[in-house]
Structure 1
Amino acid sequence: MPGDITLLYRGSEQCPLGQILDAALVHHSTGVTTHRVLGFYAIVLITRGQGTYADVNHKPISVSTGDLFVLFPDVAHRYGPSRSSRWDEIYISFRGAIFDLWRQAGLLTPERPVFRLGATTPWIARFTDVVDVPEADPIVRQIMMVGRLQAVLSDIVTSQRVSVESNAQLWLTEACHLLESELAEDMDCHWIAEKVGLSYDRFRKKFAKEVGVTPFQYRSNQRLEAARKMLLETEMSLKEIAASVGFFDEFAFSNRFKQAVGMSPRAFRQETRSPSA
């Protein structure tokens, strides 16, 4: 897991209930490229980027920003960002009898290692809060951290169950979120279809039926809307705006914008900023 590591906690205090081993933020992580086996649990939240998770029970599962996976003792696994890239993550590792009970009860199970959590900011705060406890007797401190971690795990499991219950439209919400993100980058709609659990043909047809445009057209519209806001609200050059919404150059951006809006980006900016009569 090479990268820039900001250690949030590391300790060796023993507690009969359980033990938080360490927690850290990792920027530019390359993940774990070959299968390994741990002697403890860990939860890993991707805070930026995309890639895959795989273990002895699962072929590679696509994961991206806002996804969390659980690592189990004695379950060989590997994970990491897409080829030739890196991602950011935050993790907490832990062990103990209380967490074994979670596993025995099926609340945490190797059969369902990945959770789709969505927005990362509140979860990063929750992870940080687990280990941000006042100095105290080592056993008392561990009990406090274990209690906080169980609260986080409870919310993770609950959020997943709520998501399953509302799964009828969850795929559309997730697809729109992905299509609206990272507008400067190319995005493969086949990958989005896989993320929402549909074949590409079924995804394209269902999306068009629900939204009225194809996924490609929807993303194109989002790029133009983002560009329109930048023209109105910033002093960015046309070249900078073009790059920020995924166009190869200013010429291609200007042509596409004029087709959609009826005037060039430069004319649009001048028109909307002209003082009214």
Structure 2
Amino acid sequence: MVGTAAQHFVAVHGVGHGAWVYYKVKPRMEAAGVRFTPVSLAAAGNNGKKLEEVRSLHDYTTPLLEVLAAVPAGEKVVLVGHSGGGYPAAYAMEKFPEKISVAVFVNALMPDTKNRPSYVIDEYLARTPPEAWMDTQFPTYGDPPITALVVGPKFISDSLYNLSPVEDQALGHLSVRPGSLFMEDLATMDKFSDDKFGSVRRAYIVAADDKTIPAEFQRWLIENNPVAEVKEIKGADHMPMFTQPDALCKCLLEIAQKHAA
């Protein structure tokens, strides 16, 4: 699959991760002839902020907003959000709908316009048994307190990266930082709007063997907020960019070719 040279993909990561998760995807996408810009959100990856300085979804998403603000007038990007990065992607869709041709949610949390922004996270947490979190911790920081998320080594190896190569598991152990889903902020935010967030075409890529956000819940997200196209990657754990990078790139290029013309 070869992309259109004018296409520009902008990708964000899940909680605690960074632009580094796309280290296999970026060269593959560029070899297909497209631009691929992975972004580290605030206090994530190689971003210099500390989590204690990030108080809201807006603060967290600011690096992505800056990238989109710099997109020339009349041009559009394909926006990719993975895992918890579905929320920064949705926030960017709300702020810059005219800059995004299609948004691709890769086994990601995907909000809707009917319910409060925290709705799908509340559903996810309610459906996830406590033992599934293994050695993950949920400390708080700041005043008023914000709930952080600190994944432990067992959760990385046995849930997030359970099918990933051992080298990628090691990369995760070395690179993952504390993060947050900013649930307190989401609980008080206005709903995402139909005329902004809802106006951007959406596609969803299901990771069939994800133990962290199970495929069943991914399909519930799609039922809750239907999308223009659904693709599925078999043999993909929570990190399809590690376990199935060729299949992920193929899906992204096919979605862009069909929906970003």
TM-score strictly above 0.5 = no
Q: Which structure features the higher share of strand residues? A: 1
Larger radius of gyration: 1
Return the TM-score normalized by structure 1.
Answer: 0.23
Return the TM-score normalized by structure 2.
Answer: 0.24
